[in-house]
């Protein structure tokens, strides 16, 4: 049976997911597309055989042509769509962020718990990156002992002028917030944000780079260089330092070129190139999980609860950016509903 997926949002990531669902993911197809810009939805649907076009995401959720929903519209629109999908009993894959703040995410968590079904998967694709998965396995296998520190870098060559100074935290480092909780199987309890000398290449209103420090419940300290104007490429780094060794994320360069007295490796141009295989894998396991009738969140994927946690860390980080102070991350207790869900915690 083919899973009929309704896509809400025909922007950059919506296009990407449509192509993926149609051409890469086995057992799924795009059956409907909606976008605030109807023409844009029509253009995208035109390339998907048999796909309908709808003016509103709510029509997608209600459509009998749609078994499951992918939300790839702008962040502020996520909450109503995800809530409507839960109310309709349809599995929903929601791109990050789950919703713009912890209160909105909590409303989704509460609705999902009340529904009694795991219907929501959040698009934190790094959980499906082979490099991060190998690091996590090394840690779990005890190969580096207990983790003490993690050093991360999240570098983009440039960002558009519309990028504001909260976005390095809420749009960019939000990936490390989720990835490090998942990698370390630990919770972030406090954050600080430091501002080094500004990069003159950054848009003039943007505080860039930024350094985010995250402290976990067991005492691991994670530093994240968020550098959005690095010019040379899309470079994601991570090194875990344990009591007896370290494990480092390799950039998937593919090959090393030697010539003219130098050795060189290609650097991905952007996040779609760097994490393409991880996006493919996360949508494949989502489609498989839904098709197998196991509700709508694959084992190991980010749940609504993980989306809420990331939003709470973002909120604390924004307060830390504003005050210059170390800021505790305050969250509700995890409902028992999520205890055996995708991301087990210690």
**Beta carbons of 336 and 134 less than 8 angstroms apart:** no
40 alpha-carbon distance from chain centroid? 24
Mapping DSSP to helix (H, G, I), strand (E, B) and coil, where does residue 270 land? coil
Supply the minimum distance, in Å, between the C-beta of residue 238 and ligand ISE: 13
The residues near 260 (Cβ < 8 Å, ≥ 6 apart) are: none
The Cα–Cα gap between 172 and 271 comes to 11
Judged by beta carbon, residue 84 or residue 236, the one nearer ligand ISE is 236
Judged by beta carbon, residue 13 or residue 45, the one nearer ligand ISE is 13
Supply the minimum distance, in Å, between the C-beta of residue 144 and ligand ISE: 26
Supply the minimum distance, in Å, between the C-beta of residue 123 and ligand ISE: 9
What would the two tokens of residue 317 be? 């980080």
Judged by beta carbon, residue 171 or residue 295, the one nearer ligand ISE is 171
Supply the minimum distance, in Å, between the C-beta of residue 262 and ligand ISE: 28
Binding site for ligand ISE (CB under 6 A): 156, 171-172, 175, 271
The Cα–Cα gap between 140 and 77 comes to 37
Supply the minimum distance, in Å, between the C-beta of residue 270 and ligand ISE: 8
State phi, psi for 286 to the nearest 5 degrees.
-65, -50
Judged by beta carbon, residue 49 or residue 160, the one nearer ligand ISE is 160
Judged by beta carbon, residue 171 or residue 186, the one nearer ligand ISE is 171
Mapping DSSP to helix (H, G, I), strand (E, B) and coil, where does residue 5 land? strand
Judged by beta carbon, residue 156 or residue 304, the one nearer ligand ISE is 156
Supply the minimum distance, in Å, between the C-beta of residue 211 and ligand ISE: 15
- Could you report how far apart the first and last alpha carbons of the chain are, in Å? 37
Judged by beta carbon, residue 156 or residue 220, the one nearer ligand ISE is 156
Supply the minimum distance, in Å, between the C-beta of residue 275 and ligand ISE: 7
For 254, left (φ over 0), alpha (ψ -120 to 50), or beta? left
**Cis previous bond, 97, omega within 30:** yes
In the 8-state DSSP scheme, what is residue 334?
Answer: P
């Amino acid at each position: 049976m083919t899973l009929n997926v309704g896509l809400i949002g025909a922007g950059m990531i919506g296009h990407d997911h449509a192509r993926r669902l149609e051409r890469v993911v086995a057992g799924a197809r795009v059956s409907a597309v909606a976008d605030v810009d109807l023409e844009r939805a029509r253009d995208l649907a035109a390339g998907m055989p048999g796909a309908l076009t709808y003016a509103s995401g709510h029509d997608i959720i209600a459509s009998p042509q749609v078994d499951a929903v992918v939300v790839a519209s702008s962040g502020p629109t996520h909450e109503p769509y995800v809530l409507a999908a839960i109310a309709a009993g349809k599995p929903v894959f929601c791109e990050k962020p789950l919703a713009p703040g912890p209160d909105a995410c909590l409303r989704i968590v509460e609705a999902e718990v009340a529904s009694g079904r795991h219907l929501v998967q959040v698009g934190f694709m790094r959980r499906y990156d082979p490099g991060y998965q190998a690091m996590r396995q090394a840690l779990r296998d005890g190969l580096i002992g207990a983790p003490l520190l993690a050093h991360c870098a999240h570098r983009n060559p440039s960002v558009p002028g519309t990028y504001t100074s909260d976005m390095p935290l809420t749009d960019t480092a939000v990936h490390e917030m989720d990835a490090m909780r998942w990698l370390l199987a630990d919770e972030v309890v406090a954050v600080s944000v430091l501002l080094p000398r500004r990069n003159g290449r950054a848009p003039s209103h943007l505080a860039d780079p930024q350094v985010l420090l995250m402290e976990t419940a067991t005492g691991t300290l994670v530093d994240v260089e968020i550098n959005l104007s690095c010019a040379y490429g899309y470079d994601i780094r991570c090194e875990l330092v344990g009591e007896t060794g370290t494990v480092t994320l390799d950039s998937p360069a593919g090959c090393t070129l030697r010539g003219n007295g130098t050795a060189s490796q290609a650097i991905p141009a952007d996040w779609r190139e760097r994490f393409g295989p991880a996006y493919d894998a996360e949508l494949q396991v989502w489609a498989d999980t839904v098709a197998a009738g196991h509700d709508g969140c694959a084992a190991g994927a980010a749940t609504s609860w993980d989306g809420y946690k990331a939003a709470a860390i973002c909120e604390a980080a924004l307060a830390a950016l504003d005050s210059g102070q170390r800021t505790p991350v305050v969250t509700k207790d995890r409902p028992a509903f999520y205890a055996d869900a995708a991301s087990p915690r210690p």
